Amino acid sequence: MMTQVPYHMKEVAVTKIFTFDSAHRLDDYIGKCANLHGHTYKLEVTIKGRTDHRGIVVDFGDIKSIVNEQIIGKYDHRFLNDLMDFNTTAENMVVHFFEIIDSYLQQIDNATPVRLVKCRLWETPSAYAEVTWEDFHAAQ
């Protein structure tokens, strides 16, 4: 018989990290990035919720399925300008990814309610764009 975890039903944030490689060019931009170039993107997905009776907020496998199917599978080793109908800046892309993940996250069968609280998209090892739940919902 399992004993109750002392931190049962506490709110916790969990993060899963993904990488993918894509090429793009920036529109309406003067500089090197106006030319075709590529990045190894790193996407950090942070979800928050209360732990269930097992001490789990959300199954990492569920996060992995959503991101692999809806983002990595569509954008890895692709030319982003052909797939996105907006300028492919890290800022625009992270908002787009937040929207995708948020909509699919609400469809998973989870023991407790969860919310996507942050997406961070690293374009280089020293540069990223980030959107939080508050920022995303304030803009609507």
Asked whether 118 and 137 are in contact (CB, 8 A), the reply is no
Is residue 37 marked as binding? yes
Alpha carbons 71 and 43: distance in angstroms, whole number: 10
Active-site pick, 69, 77, 134, 137: 77
Alpha carbons 40 and 52: distance in angstroms, whole number: 35
**Catalytic (active site) residue 77:** yes
Active-site pick, 33, 44, 91, 130: 33
**Catalytic (active site) residue 123:** yes
Closest CA to 106 of 93, 120, 116: 116
Closest CA to 13 of 51, 42, 41, 39: 51
**Catalytic (active site) residue 119:** no
Alpha carbons 131 and 116: distance in angstroms, whole number: 10
Active site residues: 33, 77, 123
Binding residues: 24, 37, 39
Binding residues for Zn(2+): 24, 37, 39
